[in-house]
Structure formats: C-alpha cells, structure tokens
Structure 1
Amino acid sequence: MKIAQLIFFGFLFILILFSLTTWINYRQMEAVKENTEFVSHSATVVRQSNRFQRNILNVVSSLRAYFLTGDSTFIQAFASARQENENILTELSSMADSAQMPGLRRIQTLNGRWTSEFTHILGDVQRTAVTSKDPVDLSVVYKNEFPIIAKGDVAEDLQAEVRSFINEEYKRREVRKKQLAGSIVSTRRLSFILTFCSIVIGLVIAGFVTYSISKRILRLVQMSNTIAEGNYKVQVEPGRDELGRLALSLNHMARVLDTNISELKRKNGELDQFAHIVSHDLKSPLRGIGNVVEWIEEDHGSELTPKVQEYFGLIKGRLIRAEHLISGILSYARVGKEEMQAETVVLRDLLEEIVGNLAPRPGTELLISPELPVLHTERVPLYQVFDNLISNALKYNDRARPQLAVWHEDHPAYYVFYVQDNGPGISEAYHQKIFQIFQTLQSGESASGTGVGLAIVKKILDARHEKIELSSEPGLGSTFSFTWKKQPEWKR
C-alpha cells in the first residue's frame, strides 16, 4: 500500500471513530436533556398540584368563614380560589402526559361536582335572602349542609385523587432522576472510554505509519551509507509506495556509480601504467642525449667555440629540467596510491634532513623552531610536503641574504605548520593557480621549475582532507601554512 493511502485510511479511521464518539455523546446529551426537562416539568406539575390542594382548603375555609360571620368578602375569596383551581386544572391538562391524563380527568370531574355543590348552597342562600323577609340563619345552613359537602364522599374522593396524582408524579420524577443520574454517569464513562480508545488507536495508527515510513527511509539511508563507503553493488527492495521511486533511483545511481567507478579505476590503472612506460621510455633517450653531449665535450672540448659550449650548457639544463619534470609527474601520479603505515616522526630531524639534501647557498639564514612536535603519522607524505615548500622557498629566493623560517601552532586535533621566506613574493592573482599542475611563475627560457611541486603538495593535503593557504605580496616574501591532523584518519 502506498504511504499516501496508508496515511489517508489512518486519518479516515480516526475521523470515523471521533465522529462515532461525537454522535454517541450527542445521543447521551439528548437523553440527559430529556430527563432534565422531564424533572423540571414534573416539578412544575407537582407545584401546581399542591397549589390546587391548598386552594381546596381555601375554598372550604372561605365558605366556613362566610357561614360563621356572614361577611360577603369571604364569598369573593371562595370565588377566587375556585377560579384559580379551574386555571390550574387547565394548565395541568396541557402539561400532563397520557399516563396522568385519566387521573387528571377524574380530578376535574370531582372538582366540578364538589364546587357545584358549594355553588348550589350559596345560590339557595342568596335567593332565600332576596325572596324572604326574614334574614337567613347561616349557622343553621353551616350545621346542616356544610359538613355534608365539605367532608362528604365527593370531597374525600377529590382529596384522594389529588394525593394519588401527586404521589404518582413524585414516583415518576424519582424514576427520571435516577435515569438522569445514570445518563450523566453513562455519558461521562462513554466519553472517557471512547476518547481514550480514539487516542490509543490514533497513536497506534500514527506509530504504525511512522514505523513504516521510517523503516523504508532507514533502509535507503543505510544504502546511501553503504554507497558512501565504496560498495556500489548494493541494491534495495523498491517496494510499491512513493519511496519506491526513490529506491529505484538509488538503485540506478548505484549501478551507474559502480560502472563509472570500475571504468575510472581501469582508466587510472591504464594512466599509471602509461606514466611509468612513458617515463621509462623518455628517460632512456634523455640519458642518451646527455651522454652524447658529455662525449662531445670530452673528445672535442678544445675544438668547440664558446657559443657552442653555451648551447651545450643549455641542452644539459633542459635535460635536467626534463628529468625533474618526468620524476615530478611520477610522484604526482603515485600520490594516494600507496598504503603507508604511521610511524613516529621527529619533525625537527625531518627538516634538517630536507635542508641538508637541498644544500642552501652560503649566507642563507635558517630559523627552524626548536619546539616543533613529534608526530605519529605517515612520514613520506609529510616529507614531500615540507620538501617541496622548502625547496621552492630556497630555489626562487633572489635576496642577497635569504631567510627561511619554519614554526607551528598547536590545536586540539591538529597542527598548523608555517613555512616562510623573504623571497620575491607572489601576486594575489596567482595564489590559487600555483597549486595547479605545470603552473609556474616563470615562462619561456627563464623557467627553471616544473610546476609540479606545489601540485603534489595540494594533492597530498587534499587526499587527507587538510588545508593549505598562502599569504604573500610581491616583494614581501611568502608564507605557506597547512594543517596536519594529530591522528591519521584511518585510526579515527
């Protein structure tokens, strides 16, 4: 499966899981809302039912007070309580559900009969008071008829129905309260479980995707490191994901590199062989020419004119320069080809050996630091670097009193060595060119160098990842500085 598809389906699964979590939470919240609304609605029903029950008592109290005192204001209180109960029953009718409606209808019926009986008594009393010349004895009515109505069967049935209605509402509300509490607990529990599961599954999917991608990338990195170490035959399984195209590219690159490196090694071998053959074939005729010149000078020296002797001197100089050039080319070709072992090198002894072999002209001032370090390194490359730098410093110094100074700086992982002279100096335009092979500051007949020495120095230092710098101005001498690691790279 491709990485994009794996990531897409992973996110899709997480999205579906979170959507399911949201939907379940919504349903639970709806249940909580429904139970909460029922409890609130039930509280209103109970409150109104209690008002209705209190108003029944108010009706009885108002009529009792009227019959005992004859004060007509109690009739108004009776009418107000009766009307309020009518309004309460109407409101309860709109609020009661199908389970409570039968009981509410019975309450309405009983309340109608009960209040009509009181109304009938009041109507008789009021009509008698209008038609009779004698005042109505309310106490007689209170004793004879009021107890029958106030405490009769209808009144008792009405009170019983109201109590039954309220008790039933209390029971239903308690049930809904328990359901509400259960819904809240269930909502919290489900929310926690689903959220936890979503996080865990999301982490598992993310971990799986990350592992799959990192595993593929790690293989490609390992392949790249193997190629960097010089094994160009390594291949990696392409796979079917997006990284497969990168794997195919790396496999192709490895094959191309293997082919190119093999071809390069073959051509380098041919070039080395060619250099050795050419140097051998060139040195033989050069030696022959030199020998012929010497024989002529020995056998016919007295017969040669000064001009011819001058020409013979030029020929010998060119022969020597050609031999040096051939030797330099061979040395340049050998740089980095031979495996060398590190050994203890006393640098001051090494420099004294180099100076002794070069035999500087009289009057040369040598300033070699007595504090030069003792190194554990490859002796031959270091010898070649110092030999070429010191040789150039002495050869091209045209001062009456040449000076050569060598010192160093100590750093934690490497040394910096300095070779300084008071010669003619080098223009900044040539600071980089002089390290190229066959590049010299002299030209034509005046050229005495081969242009190979500094190229050999640069190649040796580049092969060891070292640096070389030149600080020089015309007429102010030159200072070459180069780094040299304290530990050979192959021991690191």
Structure 2
Amino acid sequence: MKLSVKLFAGFLLISVLFTAVAIVNFRLSEAVIENSKWVSRSQIVVRNSAALQRNIIDMETGLRGFLLNGNETFLKPYWQARDQMPSLMQETRNFVTNLPDQQKKLDEIAELQQRLEKDFATPLIQMKRSHQDTIMTDRELDLQLEELVLGEQMVMDSIRAAFRAFNAIEYQVRADRSERLNKSINNTRQLSTILTILSVIIGLSWAYYITRLISNRIMKMVTLAEQISRGDYKTQIVDTGQDELSRLSHSLNRMSATIDETFTELDQKNKELDQFAYVVSHDLKAPLRGIEVASRWVEEDMGSQLPDNIKEYLKMMRARVHRMENLINGILALSRIGRTSQAKEQVDTNELLAEVVELLSPPPGFSIDVQRNLPTLHTVRIQLQQVFSNLISNAIKYHDKENGKITVRHHETEEFHVFSVTDDGPGIDPEYHARIFVIFQTLQERDALESTGVGLSIVKKIVELQGGTVWVTSEPGSGSTFTFTWPKHTVIEQEISSFV
C-alpha cells in the first residue's frame, strides 16, 4: 500500500469517527430541543387547564352569589367566564391533538360544562329571576333550588375529577418525556465519550505508526548516506515496502551501486595513471640522466682543451636537465595529491614548523619568526608540511635582498584555522596574484632564477582539497603575505556530525 494511501486512510477513519461524534451530538441537541418544546407545550396545557378550572369556578361562584341575594351584578363573572371557555378549550385541544386520552378528558370536561350550564345554571338563573312573578311559595322554591344546587355540585365534582385526571395524564406524559430525554442524554454522552476517546486513540496510534514508519526508513537512508560518505559504496537499503519511500530507497541503492561502479572504475584508471606516470617519468628521466652524464664525460675527456664558452654551455645544459627533472617530479607530486589515501594524525603545528625550518636551512641573513602556542590539528601531516615548506621556501627563493624576515602567524574562526606566511621581499603586482597559482607560471625568467612553477599550484590544490582557500596580499616593494585556511573538520566529518 502506498504511503499516501495509508495517510489518507488514517485521516478518513479519524474523520468518520469525528463525524459520528458530531452526528450523535446533533441528535442529542435535537432531543433536547424536542423535549424543550414538550416542556413548553406541557406548561401551556397545565396553564390552560388551570384557567379552565378558574373559569368554571368563577361561573359557580357568580351563580351562587346571584342565588343568595338575587343581584345581577354577581352574574358578571359568570358571563365573562362562560364567554372565554370556547376559545380557551380550543387552544388546549390544539396542544393535545396527538394525545387521545387527554382529548377524551377535554371532551368530557366540555360535556360536563355544557350540562352544568344547560341543566343547572340556566334553570337556576331563570328560576331566581322569575320568583317574584310566580305563585310558588318560598318553601317550594327552596326545594327546587336545593335540588338543582345539589345536581350542580355533583357536576362540579365530576368536572374537578376530570381536570385531575387530565392533569395527571399531562404530568405522566411529562415524566415519560423527561425519563426518555435523560436516558437519551446518558446514552449519547456515553457513546460520544467512547467515540471521542476511540478517535483520539486511533489518531495517536496512526500518527505514531506513520511517524515511526517514515522516520525508520529515513534513518536507513541517512545511514546509507553516512556509509557512502565513509567510502562504503557497496551498502544497500533493504526495503520491502511498495510505496513512495520504497522508490526513493531503490533510487539510493542504484546511486550507491553507480558510485561503487564509478569509484571502482576510477581506482582502476588511477592505477593505470600511476603506472603510466611511473613509466613516463622513468623513461623521461633516463635520457636526462644520460645527457648529464655525457656532458660530464665531455668535460673530463676534453679537460683544459675545452673552450670556456663550451664549458658554460655544458653547465647551462646540466642546469636545464636538473630543471626538467624537478619539473617531472613536481608534476608527479601534483598529480598524486588527493589520489592516495593518507592517514590522519594529531599534528603539533609548532613541531611541524620547526622541522620545516630545519629542513629548509635558510641562509644566514634570514630570520623566521614563528608564532608560539600554535594549535594541534587532526590532519594529514605530510600535506600540511608540504604547504608550509613551499610557502616558506618561495619566500626565501624569491627574496631580493641578502637579509630577510619571514613571519608565520595564526588565528581562528568558527570553522577554520587561518595561517599566514609573510615576507619583506619585493612584493607582487596585484595583476599577477591569480596567475602565480597556475601551474608552470613564474614571474621571473627561469634562467634568472631556477623554478618549475609548480610549488604554488601544489599549495593551492592541497588547501582546496582540505576544504580551505589560499590567497596572496601584496604590493610591489611591500613584501607579500600568503594566507590559507585549514578547516577544523573535513567536509565528510562535518556531514557526519550534521546527521548526528
């Protein structure tokens, strides 16, 4: 499975779980809203029920007041309550349309209210009003009134019982709704909590899995790069996956194999080149030595008979032969720089410069001032020695006075050791500063001063191979300062430390 598919599948699964949580919470909110509507409806139903009861009680109270003293004023609440009954009853019915038991009780209450009004209230009012116009005795009137009042009380008791039953049903409905809501809330909370925890666990687990998968395989690639940087070009990454990182691993394996093939071929070419250089140098040096020996034989055989100008020519010829031999040695030394592996060691720069000065044996008129407490470097000793030897010997060779002073100084930057070799010789025109580092380039005629033009080229190649730079600061008549930087760590060591 591709890595992108795994990532997408993980995000999709987490999204599904969070969507489920959102849906559950949405349903919970709908249940809460629905229950709130039921509570509001129930409150209105209970309020209307109480209002209906108050209206019927007002009718009863007004009727009894009128029956006691015959004052029509007491009937005013009766008429008002009776007029409000239809609309209030209809409004209550609208809220219990889906509850047949309450509908039935409302029908019962309405029937009892109509019976109360038709069979008892209206006859009582009419009887009380017509008492003065009838021939009925008070005793007969009281008996009839008492009979109607008893019937009215029985109807009122039935109405009250019907209202109690109606309210009981409403309270039961409200309790059932509350219980269902509480149960729904608890279930939803549990389900939401479980899904949320499950989402977090799966998300963290999937993220950990993907992170470990990617980091482990990247570390394999980093390890491969480190091994390649150390010269192990035969190493390979074992990757059984079939995703995008597998393609990268395969590419790195091909790169490692290609580098191995290239370096193997390069080593073969270098060996061939070394053999060629050895053969060529041997074949070139043999005739040169023959020329030198022949010139000496001529001098020995001719002796004093040899003219002075011929002697001068023979000396010049031997000098050219020596120059040619030195040039061949210089070319061979330049070509071998960087192609042969040399072990690094701890090099005390103070001791190294003391050895260089002793080997060069400067003329009596020259003094070499070397800074004290120079650092100890972990580097190839012979290469650093060759750089100092070439710079100091050049400072002596190209000096224009019998007495001279050469100073060696050092300071450090964050990444480099910086060395400088300064002389008080004739100086170099700035237009020749770049030229002097080119092989075979000299500023004086070779006959005037014996030089191969290879020394500074060797210095430049050694310094740049280490990862440093070399340059000259000079003006005619002001001496010269050759400065070079020597890295505290090689390029390979810096790359390895960056990985770590």
TM value normalised by structure 1: 0.87
Aligned CA distance change for structure 1 residues 341 and 89 (closer, same or farther; 3 Å): closer
Give deviations 1:355-401, integer Å, cap 9, x for gaps.
Answer: 45434445334334455567786543333222111111111112354
Shift of 1:66: 1.1
Contact 1:345 1:379 in 2 (8 A): no
2:252 matches 1:246 = no
Aligned CA distance change for structure 1 residues 136 and 321 (closer, same or farther; 3 Å): farther
User: Which residue does 1:47 correspond to in 2?
Assistant: 47
| Distance in 1 separating the partners of 2:290 and 2:123 | 165
User: Which residue does 1:279 correspond to in 2?
Assistant: 281
Name the SS for the 2:256 alignment partner.
helix
User: Which residue does 2:167 correspond to in 1?
Assistant: 166
Give deviations 1:104-125, integer Å, cap 9, x for gaps.
Answer: 2111111111122244325533
| Distance in 2 separating the partners of 1:297 and 1:465 | 51
> Please, which runs of 5 or more residues in structure 2 have no aligned partner?
none
| Distance in 1 separating the partners of 2:131 and 2:278 | 156
Shift of 1:264: 0.6
| Distance in 1 separating the partners of 2:259 and 2:153 | 115
User: Which residue does 1:342 correspond to in 2?
Assistant: 345
Aligned CA distance change for structure 1 residues 477 and 158 (closer, same or farther; 3 Å): same
Alignment of 1:364-403 (within 5 A): 364-369=366-371, 372=374, 379-399=381-401, 401-403=403-405
Aligned CA distance change for structure 1 residues 340 and 34 (closer, same or farther; 3 Å): closer
Shift of 1:2: 0.8
Give deviations 1:50-72, integer Å, cap 9, x for gaps.
Answer: 12122222111111111222221
Name the SS for the 2:101 alignment partner.
coil
User: Which residue does 2:451 correspond to in 1?
Assistant: 449
Name the SS for the 1:94 alignment partner.
helix
Contact 2:124 2:148 in 1 (8 A): no
2:80 matches 1:80 = yes
User: Which residue does 1:330 correspond to in 2?
Assistant: 332
Name the SS for the 1:409 alignment partner.
strand
Shift of 1:37: 1.4
Aligned CA distance change for structure 1 residues 128 and 162 (closer, same or farther; 3 Å): same
User: Which residue does 2:61 correspond to in 1?
Assistant: 61
User: Which residue does 1:99 correspond to in 2?
Assistant: 101
Aligned CA distance change for structure 1 residues 190 and 459 (closer, same or farther; 3 Å): same
| Distance in 2 separating the partners of 1:49 and 1:435 | 113
Give deviations 1:308-327, integer Å, cap 9, x for gaps.
Answer: 33332321221111111122
Aligned CA distance change for structure 1 residues 127 and 151 (closer, same or farther; 3 Å): closer
Contact 1:67 1:138 in 2 (8 A): no
User: Which residue does 1:217 correspond to in 2?
Assistant: 218
User: Which residue does 1:294 correspond to in 2?
Assistant: 296
Name the SS for the 1:230 alignment partner.
coil
| Distance in 1 separating the partners of 2:140 and 2:226 | 119
Contact 2:67 2:124 in 1 (8 A): no
| Distance in 1 separating the partners of 2:269 and 2:215 | 40
Contact 2:400 2:425 in 1 (8 A): yes
User: Which residue does 2:260 correspond to in 1?
Assistant: 258
Aligned CA distance change for structure 1 residues 375 and 262 (closer, same or farther; 3 Å): closer
Report the number of matched residues.
489
Aligned CA distance change for structure 1 residues 9 and 177 (closer, same or farther; 3 Å): same
Name the SS for the 1:65 alignment partner.
helix
Shift of 1:91: 1.3
Per mean C-alpha deviation after superposition, the further-off stretch among 244-253 and 458-467 is 458-467
User: Which residue does 1:10 correspond to in 2?
Assistant: 10
| Distance in 2 separating the partners of 1:487 and 1:52 | 100
Shift of 1:85: 2.6
1:299 corresponds to which letter in structure 2?
A: D
Give deviations 1:99-144, integer Å, cap 9, x for gaps.
Answer: 3212221111111111222443255337736965999999848953
1:203 corresponds to which letter in structure 2?
A: L
User: Which residue does 1:406 correspond to in 2?
Assistant: 408
TM value normalised by structure 2: 0.86
2:176 corresponds to which letter in structure 1?
A: V
Name the SS for the 1:329 alignment partner.
helix
| Distance in 1 separating the partners of 2:282 and 2:147 | 156
2:296 corresponds to which letter in structure 1?
A: E
Aligned CA distance change for structure 1 residues 409 and 141 (closer, same or farther; 3 Å): same
User: Which residue does 2:312 correspond to in 1?
Assistant: 310
1:244 corresponds to which letter in structure 2?
A: S
> Please, which runs of 5 or more residues in structure 1 have no aligned partner?
none
User: Which residue does 2:28 correspond to in 1?
Assistant: 28
Name the SS for the 1:190 alignment partner.
helix
2:182 matches 1:181 = yes
Per mean C-alpha deviation after superposition, the further-off stretch among 399-408 and 316-325 is 399-408
Per mean C-alpha deviation after superposition, the further-off stretch among 33-42 and 462-471 is 462-471
Aligned CA distance change for structure 1 residues 433 and 246 (closer, same or farther; 3 Å): farther
CA RMSD of aligned residues (A): 3.3
Name the SS for the 1:440 alignment partner.
coil
Give deviations 1:304-355, integer Å, cap 9, x for gaps.
Answer: 444433332321221111111122233334445253463665735x545544
Per mean C-alpha deviation after superposition, the further-off stretch among 22-31 and 410-419 is 410-419
User: Which residue does 2:481 correspond to in 1?
Assistant: 479
